[in-house]
Amino acid sequence: MFCRDNFIYFKGELIGLAILLVFGSFGILYGIRHKKEPHKVAFVIILLFGLLMVFFAPPMSFPDEAIHFARAESITEGVLYPVKTPNGYYIQDYFFEMNQAKSGTTILEYNFSKPISDSWGYWPASTNTPFYSYLFSALGILIAKCLDLSVIWTLWLGRLANLLLYGGFVYFAIKKAPVYKMPLLFMACLPIAVSQVSSFSYDAFIFA
């Protein structure tokens, strides 16, 4: 699997693998030194591996992330319950370029340095999930808009907000739990859980 022909960006893959090994080694050492504080260990593991997925996963590459992003984006515009028009759901144009990038292997292939546009278009899909499950990811997008950052920051800050929501809940849940702290740590740090909460998915709210 790890041969040059299998990777378009071989150097990038090596750098990513090196970072993964460093983070993993740090997580093991931290776990050994703080084994009596499982809530801290869980938070560090979630944060370390979550950050890798927040910043390295291509845009909209998580399951249904485009739909979840569109819903969070609409909340930043004050639309808590999107209404479908004959053309679809109303959404800002910068979303479409980022959604197109999900077929790429790396965000480096796309230019997200331009500012967030004020133009609008139509998107055919949405979700009926309660709006409050998107409040944290919407807050990330809103911060990027208020600071007038480039398009890619709407993705990164929204994902990061979900990750911090989950990590914070896990920290306090394990800390306050009178029993079964290690099983809770194990469940909270499952790769599928950390992966989902590093995206725009409302799973971050449900899992928390």
Contacts of 75 (CB under 8 A, 6+ apart): 131, 134, 135, 138
- Which residue positions in the chain have pLDDT lower than 70? 1-8, 101-112, 119-120, 122-126
108 DSSP assignment: G
pLDDT in tens, 127-179: 778 888 999 999 999 999 899 888 889 899 999 999 999 999 999 999 999 99
pLDDT for position 2 = 62
Radius of gyration from C-alpha coordinates of the chain: 18
pLDDT for position 70 = 86
Task: Kindly report the length of the chain.
Answer: 208
**Cα(82)–Cα(75) distance, rounded to whole angstroms?**
9
pLDDT for position 107 = 54
Q: How far apart are the first and last CA of the chain?
A: 35
Q: Could you tell me the residue ranges of all domains in the chain?
A: 4-58+160-207, 65-158
Q: How far is CA 138 from CA 53, 71, 190, in A?
A: 18, 8, 25
